[in-house]
Structure 1
């Protein structure tokens, strides 16, 4: 009689590349998407549902893995009592840019903390551009810096956002 080990049937093992492909498929990731394609797909899905940014006239200029750039023209109805752009609206531009950057990996991510330093005022007629970059992503936690400049490339504000990834994906890539 043979030992239990010699009579046990074994399944043939798939090559490592095939096992990795199956693991990625089963995890919901589409292997044929580049990081740039992931970022673009996530941004398109977000943009379709981002009512606040659209209401403020924000335009998404650029998105990539861990980065985003948005623009907002300062309208008359955005002025505060000092005839400058309300700081909350500058924050909103930076925060929206942060959202696109931290969700660019197609993993749902939300803000944990945000802070902003206002460097100079923005005025009615100014066009602000916010550019955000991932500074670090470890596990589920990310840190992003957003620079807000006016049309003269003058620094208006510096924003830092910290994010955490939550369950789910921004968009289903298998549809």
Structure 2
């Protein structure tokens, strides 16, 4: 999808993606699933520590997404994530997706840290 990681540290991440022609729907605007994937990628980077492998992974338990403005092919979208609250193995992150100065998506993700799956 061409997602570029700009910054990634525990509790904060920034990613960017340029909307390509094949990412738009029949109305000529970015397909919601594409913008969701950008936000979800930022969410994963925000709640998983990028360098600390303590034998766990952090996975989504649920998300809410609000599409606030359309975007189109050629637009560069930037998603920024912040850890809002962590309590034990559970937490909440907020992700904001912007095109230039316009907020196009607000995404709130809930997560749980679990033991890493055993490799087969």
TM-score (norm 1): 0.62
Which structure's residues are more often strand, by fraction?
2
Match for residue 60 of structure 1? 5
Find 2:107's aligned residue among 159, 162, 165. Answer: 159
Find 1:131's aligned residue among 75, 80, 88. Answer: 80
- 1:131 match: secondary structure: strand
Deviation at residue 65 of structure 1 after TM alignment = 2.1
> What stretches of structure 1 of length at least 5 have no aligned partner?
1-55, 170-175
In the TM superposition, what are the counterparts of 1:1-175 in structure 2 within 5 Å? 56-104=1-49, 106=52, 107-150=56-99, 152-168=100-116
> What stretches of structure 2 of length at least 5 have no aligned partner?
none
Q: What is the CA–CA distance in structure 2 between the aligned matches of 1:168 and 1:66, rounded to whole Å?
A: 19
After the TM superposition, list the runs of 4 or more consecutive aligned residues in structure 1 that deviate by more than 3 angstroms: none
Q: CA RMSD in A?
A: 1.3
Structure number with bigger Rg: 1
Which structure's residues are more often helix, by fraction?
1
Deviation at residue 103 of structure 1 after TM alignment = 0.6
User: Which protein, 1 or 2, shows the higher relative CO under an 8 Å CA cutoff with sep ≥ 6?
Assistant: 2
